[in-house]
Structure 1
Amino acid sequence: MIVIEAFQWIAANLGTFTGAFNRHMAMSLISLGVALAIALPLGVAVARSPRAAFVTVNVAGAARSIPSLAILAAAMPIMGIGLWPSVIALVVLAVPPLLLNTIIGIREVDPAVLDAANGMGLGRAEILWQIELPLAVPSILSGVRTAAIQVIGGAALASFIGGGGLGDFINAGIAIMDMPRLLVGAIPIALLAIFAELAFGWLERSVSYRL
C-alpha cells in the first residue's frame, strides 16, 4: 500500500520527481567521470613503482574507510552548499576504488608478457595502450562498478548540503514522517544501484571472457 502511494505521488508530481531524478543522475555521472579522469592516470603512473603504489594504495584504503556523510559534511564549510560541492565530495568518495583497481589491474599483468613486448621492440607507451590497459580493463571495470554504487548511494546524502536529487524526498519523508514520500526517493536510488551492479558486472564478465 505504501509503495502504491509512493508511485501515485510520483504520477501526481512528475515534474518535481523528474527534476530531482535528473539532478541525482547528473551528480552521479559527473562525479564518476571526474573521478575516472583523476584515478586512471594516477593509477597508471604509480602502478609500476612499488613504493609509490604502496603509499597510494594505503592512502586510498584509508580514504575508503571515511563515511560518505563525513565527506559531505567536511565539504560544506570549505565549499559551501549546492551542486558542485556535492560533486566534489562524491569525487572524493569515488576515487579510492577506481584508483585501487587500476593499480591492481596494471600490476597483475604477467611480467613475461611485458618482457615479450619489450623484446618485440614496443615502446613504453605502446606497451601501456596495447597490452597493460586492455588486460587491466576487467579490474578497472570492477572499480567502476564499486564506485558507481557508492556514488549513487552517496548522492542521496548530498541533500544535506543542498545538492538536491532524490535524497530530498528521503529527507522530507523523514522530517514529516511520510513513508510514501521517503520511498519516492529510496526506491529509485535502490533500482539505480541494482542496475549499476548488474550492468557493470555484465560488462566486466564480457570483457574478461573476450580476454
Structure 2
Amino acid sequence: MNGVLGEALRYLNDPLVWTRPGGVLDLTVEHLGMTALAAGLAAALALPLGALLGHSGRGSGVVVALSNTSRALPTLAIILLLATGGLFGNGATVVAAAVFAVPVLLVGAYEGVRGADPAARDAARGLGMPGWRVLCQVELPLAVPLLAAGVRTAVVQVVATIPLAALAGGGGLGQVVALGMGTQRYGQVLAGGLLVAALCLVVDGALAVLQRLATPARLRADHAVAAR
C-alpha cells in the first residue's frame, strides 16, 4: 500500500517504533501522566468551587463568566504565553490543558449540586443538618452522574490537547506528529494523529465504565426513566 496511509500503517506496524526507548509506549505513558496532572490540577480548583457555588445557589453568573473566559483562550496561545515567561515543554502544556479543562469541570460540579433533588435537600435541612453536611451527604452523592460526566469529558479533552506539548519542546504523543512534520514524513504525522485518537477512545471507554460504577443503581434507573 503506497501513499500517506500506507506509510502510516508501516510506521504503526514496526515493533521498534513501539518498544524502543522514547518510542510510542514510553510516549503514551508520558502522555497519560501529563493528562492526569493537568486534570488533577483543574479538578482541585473547579470541583470544590463549582460545588460550593451550586450549594449556595448564587454563583450562576460567576460560573458562566469563568467558563466563557476560559473557553475563549486558545490553548496554544496560553502555551506560547507561558513560554515567554520561561515555562516550556511539559509544564507549559499541563498548565494550559488544566485551564482548558476547568470550565467543563466547573459547570458539571455546579449543575450537579444545584440540580440535586430539592425534596432531599429540604428533608436534610429539616433534620437540622448544617450546610456542609447537606452538601457532603446529600447534594454531592446526588450530583455524581453530572460530576462524573464532566470529569469524563474534561479528561478526554485534555488527552486531545496534550499533543500541543511538542510545539513547546514537550513530550507525549505529539512528538510523533512533530517529528513527522519536521522530516516531512506525513505518514508518521497521520500515524501520530491516529494514536492520539485511539488513546482518546480508550480513555473515554474506561471512564465510561468508571462513571457507571460510580453512579448508584437507583440514580442510573432514574436517569434511564427520564431519558425514555
**Fold in common (TM above 0.5):** yes
Please give the secondary structure, in 2, of the residue aligned with 1:182.
helix
Number of the residue aligned with 1:145: 152
Q: CA deviation at 1:6?
A: 1.5
Query: What corresponds to 1:4 in structure 2?
Result: 9
User: How far did residue 134 of structure 1 move?
Assistant: 0.8
| Cross-structure match for 1:29 | 36
Q: Deviations over 1:59-114 (max 9, x none)?
A: 21231233322222222212421222221111111111001110010110122211
Q: Provide the C-alpha distance between the structure 1 equivalents of 2:217 and 2:68, rounded to a whole number of angstroms.
A: 29
User: Which residue pairs with 2:85 in the alignment?
Assistant: 78
Q: What residue number does 1:124 align with?
A: 131
Provide the C-alpha distance between the structure 2 equivalents of 1:48 and 1:197, rounded to a whole number of angstroms.
Answer: 29
1:135 Cα shift?
0.8
Q: Matched residues in 2 for 1:77 and 1:83: separation?
A: 15
TM-score (norm 2): 0.83
**Alignment match of 1:16 (pick from 1, 19, 22):** 22
Amino acid at match of 1:7: L
**Equivalences for 1:1-211 in 2 at 5 Å?**
1-12=6-17, 14=19, 15-17=21-23, 18-206=25-213, 207=215, 209-211=217-219
Counting aligned pairs with the same residue, the percent is: 34
Cα separation, partners in 2 of 1:13 and 1:120, compared to 1, 3 Å = closer
Compute the RMSD of aligned alpha carbons.
2.0
Residue 33 to residue 116, structure 1, CA distance change in 2 (3 Å): same
Partners of 1:64 and 1:97 within 8 A in 2: no
State the alpha-carbon separation in 2 of the partners of residues 50 and 117 from structure 1: 17
Cα shift at 1:25: 1.2
Paired residues in the alignment total 211
Q: Structure 2 unaligned segments of length 5 or more: list them.
A: 1-5, 220-228
- Further displaced range: 2-11 or 130-139: 2-11
**What's the CA shift for 1:145?**
1.4
| Distance 1:49-1:79 versus aligned 2 partners, 3 A rule | farther
Instruction: Provide the C-alpha distance between the structure 1 equivalents of 2:176 and 2:164, rounded to a whole number of angstroms.
Output: 11
Q: Structure 1 regions of 5+ residues with no counterpart? A: none
Distance 1:59 1:21, change over 3 A: same
Contact 1:79 1:85 in 2 (8 A): no
TM-score, structure 1 as length reference: 0.89
Cα distance between partner residues in 2 of 1:50 and 1:130: 17
